[in-house]
A and B are shown apart, each in its own frame.
Chain A
């Protein structure tokens, strides 16, 4: 790759240096889905993840934000090993995922926890909480009967379902939304993963419960030194619960920065637009229209040339943005934006 690989990708591209503080790294990751008409003729590829590189460090909380269809969930599922990347690598704790055999892949999944968006949909309705939490232990042949029970109880305590006896025999429908999500988190944690991937973990929950679940995830991350990658469209929760933000647009990273830096001074017009669109509860809102970019996110089947945001961008530079894809400009340490406006 040409200019693409400067900052973000430079370290990752060399590949040989294994930094022990890096839990997971993506290197020029592409996840494409082949689209066929009537299941027969190839129409093209949906480029859900299209050249993404980053590293997540131990204990870090990273948020992947963007609108639906920007590829954030496909990225999460590729990291989980549920999708095979079309090209590029996922390196987890120094090992490249593509080279793993079946058994190793299972071990890999045990090291990566997954918290789904819809807790009720993620829990088998015919299993009680004990069985839900026992399943991963059995699949991964952890301990004997007694040890499993101890671990199940400890996991419930850890997610705040206490005393565990009150919950072990409950079925998902008997629990509130918040409690269901706690069970999902307990299940994700029970194999002691080093990386937790949460896809919109609170978007189905009520406002008053959201904060509770986000606080829980933060506490667990801190106490376990867990790396948390959470995918969301809600920037306002990100401010309080993540350290780094990855803004995705049309399958690529538009901007990556520490939370405060990104909110204080976004360096990509798309990030600016997202921030401008988000209301806080404020009666003044009713009196003014928001300034928003025109149009809608592009088709991932045939993304725009040059910068993918250029058709909607209020600041596009004629002759440049529509022809040349912007490289990652490092505008400050750890703050990278793929936008030509940052060119010196």
Chain B
């Protein structure tokens, strides 16, 4: 029996595991992941492709493919143990209502034959049963919030530029006034200036509303635009969880250090360094630390899997160097 935690962050995830059945064995896409998101906080989940960050989103929203082997762990949303809820209840009360998702490349998945305004209002009509008129008014309100002129409500997706379409899907997520919005790679298909515009917009929304954000991305530089906290994933696990301040200035985990050193910087002449090797296959059982094979500071202990240990500030690191 797990006791409900006393202080209530908006979202609390504990021991989350999502394993798939693959052709060549079990794929451990998410393996013992835990974190918290407070109200009005932005958590960035950072990782390279194949690290399990998108699977993490699937598990949180319970949108799972058929080949799931295990999906276990605890997810508390506003104090409720929602993993234990039946699908019906989860759909009615959480997904798309209090916890909204902007999927990767969602801007390209808008229905081409339905006006954007109607698509943005749809969650209100479907989830909350609002009438057409009331939903339209609210849609116009969210359009203002995300900076789209109100007359765009009547336009079709093809009449919108990429940046505008990204704003529209963001509006769709925000329309029910959710407590938490999860954005999966929200800027990866956009140009530099459009990207910066969307990040500006997220900052404004975060300042104006009480919404919390989880931003899933591989783009380290862009992630620093909104992050309050950072969770760095590697091979299905969180290896460092820290305040953005600490993470970007003084990362602890050897992978975090190497990853930050691999980013070419515009305002800094330091040459970026690549990380030799590549991440382990998620199918193979790696006995010890999953980064050990590429780690410049590995030692005997690394043959065993480290647990998360607390580090200065309120960070946690999965590395024997920080084992208390």
A residues touching B (Cβ–Cβ < 8 Å)? Answer: 67-68, 176-178, 206-212, 215, 233-237, 239-241, 263, 273-283, 285-286, 289-290, 292-293, 296
Contacts and interface: CB of A to CB of B under 8 A. Distances in A.
B278 A281 contact: no
Contacts of B264: 210-211, 234, 236-237, 239-241
Interface string B139-152: 00000000000000
B224 interface: yes
A93 to B, nearest CB: 32
- Which 10 residue pairs are nearest across A and B when measured between Cβ atoms? A277-B196, A208-B275, A211-B274, A212-B274, A206-B48, A67-B191, A236-B266, A283-B245, A283-B244, A279-B221
6 contacts: A207-B262, A208-B258, A210-B264, A274-B193, A276-B196, A296-B163
Given A206-B48, A206-B218, A285-B225, A290 B274 contact: no
Interface residues on B, range: 35 or more
The prevalent SS among residues of A at the interface is: helix
Interface of B: 42, 48-49, 161, 163, 191-197, 199-200, 203-204, 218, 220-228, 244-245, 247-249, 258-260, 262-269, 271-275, 278
Contacts of A237: 264
A220 B23 CA distance: 39
Contact of B196 (A208, A234, A241, A292): A292
Nearest to B268: A280
A37 B199 CA distance: 37
A280 B267 contact: yes
A290 B193 CA distance: 10
Contacts of B193: 67, 273-274, 277, 292-293
Contacts of B249: 283
A15 B194 CA distance: 40
A280 B270 CA distance: 12
Given A279-B222, A281-B248, A290 B265 contact: no
Contacts of A286: 42, 203, 224-228, 244
Nearest to B202: A286
Contacts of B272: 211, 240
Contacts of A212: 274
A281 B228 contact: no
